[in-house]
Each structure stands twice: as C-alpha cells, then as structure tokens.
Structure 1
Amino acid sequence: MMRLRTKTLSSSSGLRVPHRIVENHKAGPTLIWNKRYSAFAQGRRFLRVIVALALIGHGLAVAQMTQRPNQPPPVDGGPVIIGILAPRGEAHALAQWQSTLQALDEAIPRASFEPRALTLEGIAEAVAKGRIDFVLTNPGQFVLLGTPYALSWLATLRSNPADSAREALGSVLLVREDAPYTSAQQLIGKRVVAVHEQAFGGYLLLLPQLESAGINPGELDLAFLGYPVDALLYQLRDGQAEAAIMPVCMLEQMAAEGLVAPEDYRALMSNGKLGGCLASTPAYPDWTFAALPHVSEALTADVARVLLDMEGPGTTRWGAPVSAARVATLFDDLRLHPLQEPLLDRLGDTLQRYWHYTLFAVLLLLGGLLYHAWIQRQAHRHGRALQSTQLALRERERELASAQSLSVSGELAATLAHELNQPLAAIRHYAEGGRLRLERQAPDSPLLEPFSRIGREAARGAGIIEQARQWIRREPPEIERVPLKGLLRDAVALAEPRVRRLAIALDWKVRPADLAAQGNRLAMEQVLGNLINNSLDAFEADRRVGWIRIDAEYDAELAQVTIRVADNAGGFDAERLSQPFMPLDSSRAEGLGLGLVISRRLMQRQGGAIEIGNHARGGAEIRLMLPASTEDANP
C-alpha cells in the first residue's frame, strides 16, 4: 500500500521546503491494479446481468417456437383452390381455364376445384402461406417457387400456336410502325413499359438479349405497370411509351379479339417468328401445373392423370412435364435462381428464421462491447492516475534537488559571512586610521579620497554580510523610503570604472524625478549591482560594445515603482528563460549561477518582485517592482 506523508526540509539558510515523500513507492502499481481488479469484478457483475437478460429472451423465444405454426390441413377432397396467374386480368384468366377446371370437376367428384386469379406477387404470397392447393403459372415462377416450397410438377401446357411444350414462351420488344427506331440502342433514355421485373414471359426473357446487345437496362426509362398486360400495348399505341416488352403472341391474341391492329406495330431485336408470332427472344417451355406439398398423393395423381388425358376441341392440352433446365440456366445467368440466392439474402433469411438465436448473439455481442469499452475507460483512467503520480514524484525529486542546492548555498553563505566579517572590519579600521593620519599630517594629500572610498566600500561590504546574516536568521530587512534618483546614481557610480573600460553607454532616468520606493536601500544597491555586472559580463564575454538603459517609472494603477534594466548584449536563451532562477546554473565558466537567485530573494524580502525576459531589440530586459512610497510620489 502506498502512503504519502509531508516532510519539511530545513537548512542553515533558513529555507523550509514542504516535500511529499512517497514511502514504498513500488506499491503504487499494486494499488492501481487493486483498483483495476475491483473494476474487473464490477464488469463481471455487469456481464452476468447481460447474460441473464439474454437467457430470459432466449427462453421466451424457444417457448414461442414450441408452439406449432399454422400449417394448411391435408387436402384430399372437398374445396380445392387453384391459384392461376392472370396476366390479362381475372375475367380473362377464368374464361381461358374454364374448360380445364370443368374437366377436373367432372373427373374427380370428391373435390370441388375453385379458381383464384392472382398476380405474380399474389401467387408467391399464396404459395408461401399455403392459401392455395395447386398453382397454374409460367415455368419461370415455378422454378423460383418450386425449390423453396417443394412444389410437385404435374404437367406442362401444350396449347400454343407452335404446338410445342418445349418452345412456347418468349418476349417481344414492340415499337410503333411509324416510330423512327431501328435498333434497341436508340431506346436508351426513352420510356419503355413492362409488366414486372420478374415477369418470365416479358422483362426477364428480354434482359439477356439487352445485355448481349450492350444495353444496360438502367439506361432505359423502364416503367413496370403490372397486370393486365393489355395496358402495355395501349400505352404504346397512345404514345405514352416508346416501346413495350410483351409476351410472345399477346399482340396477335389482342388483334384476333379486335382490340388492336397488328400492322401498327413491329418488333425490334427480331428473332424470327415463334408459332407465327413476333418474337425477340428464344423460346422457353410453356406453363406448368403444380401441386403444393400439403395436397395428398392420391389427389395429386388424379389431377395429373386428368390433365394428361384431356383431348378434344375447346379444351387445353397438357403433356408430361418438360425439363426446365433452360429456365434454370437463365436464372443462373441472371443470378436469380433460389439455389444460388445471394449471400446477404440467405443470411437475412437465416437470421429471420432463427431470430431468437440472433437476438441472443446480439445481446452477448453488445454486452461484450460495452464491457470492453468500460474496461478500456477504467484502464485509461487508472493509467492517467499512475502517470500523474509518476509526474508528481519527478517534480518532488526536482524540488528536493533544488532545496538541497539552496541548503548547500545557505551553508556556504553562512560560512563566508562569518569568515569575511573580520577581514572587512580590519580593512575598514585600517582605512579609517590612514585617513585620520593623513588629515593631521597632509591635509592636501590626494590619498584622502581613496581612503574614504575604501572605508565606505568596507562598510557596504559589512552591511551586505549583515544582511546575509539576517537572511539566514530569517529576520525581515529594515524597510525605508528609498529615493530612486540617488539609488540609481550610486549604483551606476559603483560600476563606472568597468563601464568606462568596456566602452559601454550606461544611461539612467527617473520619472518623476522625486520618485521613491518602499524598500531596503542596501538590498536594492546589491540587486542593481548584480544586474549591471551581469550585463557587463555578457558584453565582455562576447567582446562587443553596446548600451545599458535603466528606467524607473511610477505605475499609478498598481501604486508601485517599476525599474527596467535593459541591454543589447544578446539576451537570455530559451532554456534559461524557462528556469531563470535555478541555483548553481550559470552560462559562464566562472559563474556560480547565484546572482539572479539572490536578487529574487532580496526583492521578495522587501515585498517586491522581479521578472526576467528579452526585448525586441536583441537583449535582456529585467523588471524590478517595489511598492511606491506614498509620502511624495506624485506622478
């Protein structure tokens, strides 16, 4: 377990640094993993809830599946429904197949055959739901429905102009006789009407012919009008369409009924004539009579026998079932065969059939994804916490290193203050004694001024040492009114010999002239001396000349004095600006890196502040802020 405690570091310099020490920091990851283990435990409980809900849904679905679905009852007599495809409408279909139904009624007295005229969609739905017992439709729809619903193929129609069960159905692309079209390509972008996109004796049969001619059906303005087929020819006749896709012989039948004139139309993509009728496609087998699986074998056999025995005028003729291989091949080419159902459709059917298992799997997957996302979020959060802890530890290590450096500096300062105080006192006494002796023996001696200056500098050094002693003892400095004009004049005078030797232009200005600050004069002299000497060191290191500018101004808004010290000696680099007060870090080989650190401490002890930066003219700019003296500071 990780335990944090706070320890205060002290040194002879009086510095106290609160420092958080991590005990047994190696246990940190253990704490994180303990939290993560708790998160995993919560996740397992969450997953168990998801699984329980899924199992409940699965049980309900299985219970529902145990109920027997509504299956059509077995049929061996009584009312028998025959679903009939009605391409020309109900009345026409009933009239066309009346003789067949009558023959079935007479030959099989135990059953009463009732016709039901249906569309393509209607037959598919009736077969799927078992609403009919027999189906009478084209071979294309039989192929589509026969495999999925186990239809029994009983007979193939032979009543067609060609008198052939194998070659009876086809499609024709009709245009008006006066139309300018001579090829199917000219119909691109034109309105073309058809019954249905799965109409075998129409669009489906013509589709391969269009593709072989290089025509994409999507380039035609196709319109599927549904039954009756007669409407297609009427729209073509009335100019509402430029072409019509019709079953073979439909034009001839309508002409025989006096509905249209056959000479008003012609066929495109002509494939000769099929039984004397215009055609645009090869011929395919005729219509099929089939039984649904719930019809008894006896009734199915009786119906097949009656159909095959039909003969005589006015009756439809049926033959043995003809192979639908060509139809199946066509559907294979069109990718419509039920045995080659697209993967997505098969998948959809499977999911729909076994929806309870699908629901169970979806719930499990959803629960797993939510659990994974939750675990990832917990791991990310704990990872960030661990990273923050590591960053905090590194920061504390840097603070400790800084505190140790300052502690060493404080001890060194205390030692130097103690050891230098006596030599400075001796220098001051010797200088004072020498000056007094000269005043008695040679009042006009030019050495009097140097002795006086030696005494003042020795006294100033002693004051600085006393200030260091106060700093070590953590005693506050004496705050006084400091006139800035005299402060800057004396600070510049101290640096004047070196400034003259390096040929540096040093200017200063105070606005207003009587501006004063609240601070410690000796400390401010030390700070300004450090800053001026730092600038002179930079000039001397680069062997260049330039300028140093010191400006003191009053900030009425903050009621403070700002002293700006600027030069054009190159300024601070980016690394130094990021940590300007790092102790024992100097860019000069002979430097200790304590000048700015001491200056900041001196400013803080006076209630002031210091800011380090660069200006746009290629040099450093340091700002010193002190409270303004309120006695006579009139900006």
Structure 2
Amino acid sequence: DNGVHFTIPIYDGVQFIGTYSQFRDITDRYDLEQQVITNEKLSIIGKMSTSLAHEIRNPLTPISGFLKLLENNFDKAKSKEYFKIINDELHRMKDLINNFVMISKPEAPRKKDVNIQTLLLETIHLMNSHGNLHNISIEFTDNIKHDLSIYVDKNQIKQVLINLIQNAIEEMNAGGEINVVLNKNRELNQIEISVIDQGCGIDPKILSDLFTPFVTTKPDGTGLGLSISQRIVKNHYGEIVVDSNKNRGTTITVTLPISIKNDRRDD
C-alpha cells in the first residue's frame, strides 16, 4: 500500500518497445514516520495536560456555586439565568476535551474539506489556557474575511499549529501577545497562516538547523516538533518559512494550497 516507483520508456532506435519499471516498498519508513508523529503528539499532550486541567477547574467553580444556590434557595426568576451559565460552562468544558482528544488520536492521514477559520479558532481556543498560565494572549486576525475551505487532514494541520503556538509561548518568558494571522495569496491560490511572537528571536546559527530532527534548544525538548511539522506540511504540498530577528521576535508562516482535491496523489 505504501511504495514509490518510477518508469523509463525503452526504445529500439526510434520505435517504442517497452518500459523499465522499479518498485520499492517503503511501508517500514511510513510506519516509522507514523510512530514518530504519534510520539510527538504524546509529548505535546504531556505539556498541555496541566493547562487543560487548570482550564477545566475554572468553570467547575461557578457550576458548583450556582447549583448550591439553586439547591438552597430555588428562585424561579433567577433559575433560568443560573441554568444558562451552568450550561454555557459545561459546553466550554466539552469543547476543550473534544479538541484535546482529537489531537491525541493517532490515525492515518485523512484529507477532506476543512473550514480554515474554524480550524484556527478551535486551535487558538485550545491553546489559550496554556497561554494564560504564562501571561500570554493569543489573537486571531482574519484578512480573508469570508469562509474558506481547504483540502487537508484536520488533525495533522491542527498538530502543526499547536506545535508552532507552543513554541511561540515558550519563547516569550516575559508574557505578551501572540498573533495568528490568516492571509490569502490569490496568485498562487494558497493560504498563509503566520504565527507571530514577541520573543527574543532565534539565533542565526540555530536557524539553519531549525527543522533538523533532534536539534533543540530546550532542556526537555525532543527536537522533533518542527521536523514533523515540516514533513506534515510538505505532505500537504505546502511549506514552512521562518523569519526571525534577534530580540524582535519570530514569524513562522505556513503556506497551504487552497485545494488540490483532484490531484491523484490524494486518491
């Protein structure tokens, strides 16, 4: 199921008489890549677990409080308002957990039409709790301003975005703001997602090896996050571009084609 091949035509003078084909099974390499992707997901999940637990505890406080009010003093005039607040907080917890589980599920790439604005908002919502713990806010700027679908594996692209935002948070020790900006390049028929931080920038010596596996500046880092992110984006026929200035922050831009649904490589 997983292989590469090439075919060369054979001519006898000017007459076509056959072809030479070579097939190579790359199942082992594919399986290893999937295992590495799964391991990186687990690494991200470990980092986010504390933030998620903290965020889930927040709505539990008003839920418990309003339930106690209803139990001790059932006020019909106020009950509708209380139940709405409880319901809203429960929905917020459900969304957080659903998004968290979506990242943790290891599965083969499955491309489909995905609303890019919804995907970005879901990812930012998921990462905001982690940012809040570090006194960092995450803002979204949509320069396209109309709903747009792209043909991608939603979970894998979300993993890339989480990784980039996670890196941005870790670069900003003093707090501040991360901007996620969505643009459309009409000439190239692609979207551009930029994650812009206010960190200290990336050392030029490290910049050239940024996507090399196991190269990391973090004490507990695996050095696989950006490497896997780049592989995922390339498998979607896009690219990742890094622009960093010392003490002025870093902008990492992911470009993805708007649609290559009819490309046979996705069949």
Q: Is TM-score (shorter-chain normalized) higher than 0.5?
A: yes
Cα displacement (A) at 1:593: 0.8
Q: Distance in 2 between matches of 1:416 and 1:617?
A: 28
Residues 1:454 and 1:601: Cα distance change in structure 2 (over 3 Å): same
Alpha-carbon contact 1:12-1:410 (below 8 Å) kept: no
Same amino acid, percent of matched pairs: 24
State the partner residue of 1:567.
197
State the partner residue of 1:558.
188
1:493 aligns with 2:125: yes
For the aligned residue pairs, the C-alpha RMSD in angstroms reads 3.4
**Matching residue within 480, 488, 507 for 2:139:** 507
Q: Distance in 2 between matches of 1:454 and 1:525?
A: 14
The structure that has the greater radius of gyration is: 1
Letter in structure 2 aligned against 1:610: I
Aligned residues: 195
Cα displacement (A) at 1:629: 4.4
Map 1:276-425 to 2 at 5 A: none
Cα displacement (A) at 1:12: 3.7
Q: Distance in 2 between matches of 1:416 and 1:566?
A: 22
Cα displacement (A) at 1:558: 0.8
Q: Deviations over 1:521-564 (max 9, x none)?
A: 2222111111111011112xxx3122211111111111111111
Q: Distance in 1 between matches of 2:217 and 2:36?
A: 21
State the partner residue of 2:30.
14
Alpha-carbon contact 1:580-1:612 (below 8 Å) kept: no
Moved segments of 4+, more than 4 Å: 8-11, 409-417, 444-451
Residues 1:623 and 1:415: Cα distance change in structure 2 (over 3 Å): closer
Q: Distance in 1 between matches of 2:28 and 2:236?
A: 21
Map 1:29-108 to 2 at 5 A: none
Q: Distance in 1 between matches of 2:187 and 2:247?
A: 27
State the partner residue of 2:222.
592
Q: Deviations over 1:125-177 (max 9, x none)?
A: xxxxxxxxxxxxxxxxxxxxxxxxxxxxxxxxxxxxxxxxxxxxxxxxxxxxx
Q: Distance in 2 between matches of 1:455 and 1:504?
A: 21
1:547 aligns with 2:177: yes
Cα displacement (A) at 1:11: 7.8
Q: Distance in 2 between matches of 1:578 and 1:598?
A: 16
State the partner residue of 2:94.
452
State the partner residue of 2:248.
618
Q: Distance in 2 between matches of 1:516 and 1:565?
A: 20
Q: Distance in 1 between matches of 2:241 and 2:144?
A: 22
Residues 1:617 and 1:9: Cα distance change in structure 2 (over 3 Å): farther
Residues 1:574 and 1:610: Cα distance change in structure 2 (over 3 Å): same
Alpha-carbon contact 2:168-2:197 (below 8 Å) kept: yes
Residues 1:483 and 1:615: Cα distance change in structure 2 (over 3 Å): farther
Larger deviation: 574-583 or 588-597? 574-583
Residues 1:564 and 1:416: Cα distance change in structure 2 (over 3 Å): closer
State the partner residue of 2:213.
583
State the partner residue of 1:532.
165
Q: For residue 242 of structure 2, give the secondary structure of its aligned residue in structure 1.
A: strand
**Matching residue within 222, 227, 231 for 1:601:** 231
State the partner residue of 2:156.
523
TM-score (norm 2): 0.62
Residues 1:498 and 1:519: Cα distance change in structure 2 (over 3 Å): same
Alpha-carbon contact 1:12-1:414 (below 8 Å) kept: no
Cα displacement (A) at 1:459: 3.7
Q: Distance in 2 between matches of 1:479 and 1:594?
A: 23
Alpha-carbon contact 2:179-2:195 (below 8 Å) kept: yes
Q: For residue 194 of structure 2, give the secondary structure of its aligned residue in structure 1.
A: strand
Q: Distance in 2 between matches of 1:537 and 1:499?
A: 9
Residues 1:411 and 1:515: Cα distance change in structure 2 (over 3 Å): closer
Letter in structure 2 aligned against 1:534: N
Residues 1:587 and 1:9: Cα distance change in structure 2 (over 3 Å): farther
Residues 1:575 and 1:486: Cα distance change in structure 2 (over 3 Å): same
Q: Distance in 2 between matches of 1:567 and 1:416?
A: 22
Alpha-carbon contact 1:510-1:551 (below 8 Å) kept: yes
Alpha-carbon contact 2:201-2:246 (below 8 Å) kept: no
Cα displacement (A) at 1:450: 7.0
Alpha-carbon contact 1:551-1:563 (below 8 Å) kept: yes
Q: Distance in 1 between matches of 2:229 and 2:139?
A: 21
TM-score (norm 1): 0.28
Determine which structure has the larger strand proportion and give its number.
2
Q: Distance in 2 between matches of 1:589 and 1:11?
A: 33
Cα displacement (A) at 1:567: 1.0
1:481 aligns with 2:125: no
Residues 1:554 and 1:451: Cα distance change in structure 2 (over 3 Å): closer
Q: Distance in 2 between matches of 1:586 and 1:416?
A: 14
Cα displacement (A) at 1:414: 6.5
Q: For residue 579 of structure 1, give the secondary structure of its aligned residue in structure 2.
A: coil
Q: Deviations over 1:395-440 (max 9, x none)?
A: xxxxxxxxxxxx6x765656899xxxxxxxxxxxxxxxxxxxxxxx
Alpha-carbon contact 1:609-1:624 (below 8 Å) kept: yes
